[in-house]
Amino acid sequence: MKDLAIVLENRPGALAEMGDALGHAGVSVEGGGAFVVDGQGVAHFLFEDGAAARRALEAAGIRVQEEREVLVQRLNQSEPGQLGKISRRMAEAGVNIEVVYSDHSHQLVLVVDDIAKGREVSEAWMLEQM
């Protein structure tokens, strides 16, 4: 799975154009979100095939700022504080979480500054939860 950081114009229809470009290319969005930050549209979306998504977006004139590998983490939704606990574990390992959102399967998606260390924390967390 790949997270694409996408630059969108802050205007009506920009998100629709992005969705249309992906749809015409047969690329599905697996999760993510879009926001306006300092007047600029910033989107992070999750794709099974990041390269196909990037090609579709760039062909439509939509700028992809970055494509990154992600950590996908299942949390125990019935236990309050799960986000704090996994975030604390990442912090204690020196891993900075740069982007966080959910996918369509209600899993936590993390874009981190050190994917190898982050993966170690994520895998240890999953083993403890079993």
CATH number at residue 86: 3.30.70
pTM, two decimal places: 0.91
Residue numbers of the domain that contains 106: 71-129
Contact criterion met (CB below 8 Å) for 62 and 18 = yes
Q: Are residues 7 and 54 in the same domain?
A: yes
Q: Which two tokens stand for residue 92?
A: 């204690």
What is the tens place of the pLDDT at every residue in 62-74? Answer: 999 999 999 999 8
Mean pLDDT, range 102-110, rounded to an integer: 93
Q: Are residues 21 and 60 in the same domain?
A: yes
Closest residue by Cα to residue 4 from 20, 18, 25: 18
Number of domains in the chain: 2
Mean pLDDT of the chain: 95
Q: Are residues 118 and 89 in the same domain?
A: yes
Provide the 3-class DSSP secondary structure of residue 26: coil
| Predicted local distance difference test score (pLDDT) of residue 74 | 87
CATH number at residue 52: 3.30.70.260
Q: Are residues 64 and 78 in the same domain?
A: no
